[in-house]
Amino acid sequence: KQPAGAQPLEVWDSQDIKLRGHATGHYLTAIAQAYASTGYDKALQSKFMGKMDTMVNVLYALSKLSGAPRQKKEAGQAYVADPAAVPYGPGKSAYDSDLSDEGIRTDYWNWGLGFISAYPPDQFIMLEHGAKYGGQKNQIWAPYYTLHKILAGLLDVYEVSENKKALQIAQGMGNWVYTRLNQVPTDTLIKMWNTYIAGEFGGMNEVMARLYRITGEENYLKTARLFDNIDMFYGNAAHAHGLAKNVDTFRGLHANQHIPQIVGSMELYRVSNEPQYYKIADNFWYKAINDYMYSIGGVAGARNPANAECFISEPATLYENGFSAGGQNETCATYNMLKLTSDLFMFDQRAELMDYYERGLYNHILASVAENSPANTYHVPLRAGSIKQFGNADMKGFTCCNGTAIESSTKLQNTIYFRSKDDQALYVNLYIPSTLHWTERGISVEQQTSFPKADQTALTIRGNGKFELHVRVPSWATKGFFVAINGVDQKIKAEPGTYLTLNRTWKDGDVINLKMPFQFHLDPVMDQPNMASLFYGPILLAAQEPAARKDWRKVTLDAKDIAKSIKGNPETLEFYIDDVLYKPFYDTYGRHSVYLDVSLK
């Protein structure tokens, strides 16, 4: 129950909702990221530290109650410390998910040592026994999904602030999960992780692998492997095919149920160096981008199957099985695709990874935020004449995408720069105004730009030292990529879709100017080439529609140079085709058309 005077959250965190608690995890991650990124303002940073401490202290106190002897007048009575021996609730003949005031169990001393969640342990145990997703008390939602958010938030707090209580809570629950799952047969685990919605576990494999990386305790690595989605990763228990062997095993599946599992596969590769985990992640990424991606960078949005949160049932059929009948893109699926992309880049510095990251960031994540409030999108509609719907403006209740939104908004600087493991190279991936403090080298890099309202950026070096500077040449920069150092043009040939290496001994005050002329280009749908989105450089331009439409907007463009058919102002990114306004999708709040029926003449 809520403390006196406190108002419970609503929507998916309502008191009777079986997914409640997920917003707590998102919030922990958000304030950890905010703390990490506000070192420039110690007073502000201190406030975020206070918020982290408050959250962790309360969760720590609650975690110490589970499976422990009761206090005061109940002292000396029985309790259950073993997570594998959690009994039914008092007076009940079975485990159930009843969270009503009358039905919720409160015998926390019987829940096993270390247990922490926003509801009793029943849902976890019921999943082991085959429970399905639903609203009845013998049904569940997705208990491990919520737990992943809480554990990830705790580990984020620990990694930015070394809050030992946060780590201890995560270890306690990690031990609880290990004890429960280590006794479950492999065949049962396969069924659990392939149960629609109920078996959605977010990135539990990721957080358990992180817990192993931090502590070195082998049981956490074993637990991470228990979350292997064997059917998707390996095809079957015999490891006959699956993503590890470059076979598409995710068509038609719920996208955001499975993308975080792939993120977890990358963390398992990071801590184990077992190549199959990298192959799983890299093969998934390539197939998702080439066979399932919409122009905004989203990958979830199907007509077939009917759930718009699923991958389409047949790859490379976005028009037939995707947006043509109302397909949409779930925002948190793109959030997780960006996480995966960044993780892959740590091990393979391919420019195509950052080309996608840029696309998803500008054309989906930024496009998901409301104009005048903190509200954001759940699904982004792509039909002609669609309009975005924004939710959670008052921050009183969270869906999954509301949760990832507060994470996205506190890590916009993420992935702009990477450094090599040996600190001999720096990668500039995104063109965003920012200042990098490369403390290991005593170097700072200040990036000044109005990108994407300008096609150039300036990098100023502070400090001295020899290192390789790798700057991304975007795949869309087909009309040249120009470099000047301290005002002197460099005669360098740059290939679109690669990194250009500038290797020299840098001196304090050196300025690198980069210019990458934007061009108009079309991004056609793979199974309907006349259906395409219009881009200017990396930015998707949406037609601004005065009303709902029943048909696709038709446009005729010059076949030799589509720019001849377009008028407008590159500095404002507002353009016209036949008196219809086109502007960035991230700056579009009314009715829009993202896809156009294009004729070239």
User: Which candidate, 552, 560, 599, 554, places its Cα nearest to that of 578?
Assistant: 554
Task: For the chain, list the domains and their CATH numbers.
Answer: 9-227 (no CATH), 417-449+456-515 (2.60.40.1180), 520-600 (no CATH)
Cis status of the peptide bond prior to 452, with omega within 30 of 0:
yes
So what's the pLDDT on residue 303? 80
Kindly indicate the confidence band of residue 510, based on its pLDDT and cuts at 50, 70 and 90.
very high
Report the percent of the chain where pLDDT is more than 90. Answer: 93
C-alpha dihedral over 71, 72, 78, 83, to 10 degrees?
A: -10
So what's the pLDDT on residue 70? 80
Kindly indicate the confidence band of residue 308, based on its pLDDT and cuts at 50, 70 and 90.
confident
Cis status of the peptide bond prior to 517, with omega within 30 of 0:
no
Encoded tokens for 578: 């036949």
List Cα–Cα distances, 462 to 36, 195, 268, 447, 469, in angstroms: 22, 53, 37, 11, 14
Note if the pTM is more than 0.85: yes
Kindly indicate the confidence band of residue 302, based on its pLDDT and cuts at 50, 70 and 90.
confident
User: Which candidate, 257, 228, 233, 263, places its Cα nearest to that of 340?
Assistant: 263
Tens-digit pLDDT profile for residues 430-479: 999 999 999 999 999 999 999 999 999 999 999 999 999 999 999 999 99
So what's the pLDDT on residue 4? 83
Kindly indicate the confidence band of residue 1, based on its pLDDT and cuts at 50, 70 and 90.
low
Mean pLDDT value across residues 289-298:
97
Mean pLDDT value across residues 223-238:
97
User: Which candidate, 327, 331, 335, places its Cα nearest to that of 311?
Assistant: 327
List the beta strands (DSSP E) in 43-92: none
Please write down the long-range contacts of 436-445, taking CB distance under 8 Å and 24 or more positions apart. 438/463, 441/465, 441/467, 443/467, 443/506, 445/417
So what's the pLDDT on residue 529? 94
So what's the pLDDT on residue 325? 58
Mean pLDDT value across residues 398-419:
96
User: Which candidate, 186, 258, 179, places its Cα nearest to that of 223?
Assistant: 179
So what's the pLDDT on residue 305? 80
Encoded tokens for 492: 């360098």
So what's the pLDDT on residue 327? 65
CB 141 within 8 A of CB 198: yes
Report the percent of the chain where pLDDT is more than 70. Answer: 98
User: What rounded mean pLDDT belongs to the chain?
Assistant: 96
Mean pLDDT value across residues 151-178:
99
Kindly indicate the confidence band of residue 2, based on its pLDDT and cuts at 50, 70 and 90.
low
CB 99 within 8 A of CB 15: yes
List Cα–Cα distances, 570 to 432, 454, 458, 483, 573, in angstroms: 18, 8, 19, 21, 5
- Please spell the DSSP secondary structure of 300-319, one letter per residue: ---SSSS-TTBPPSSTT-HH
Residue 503 scores a pLDDT above 90? yes
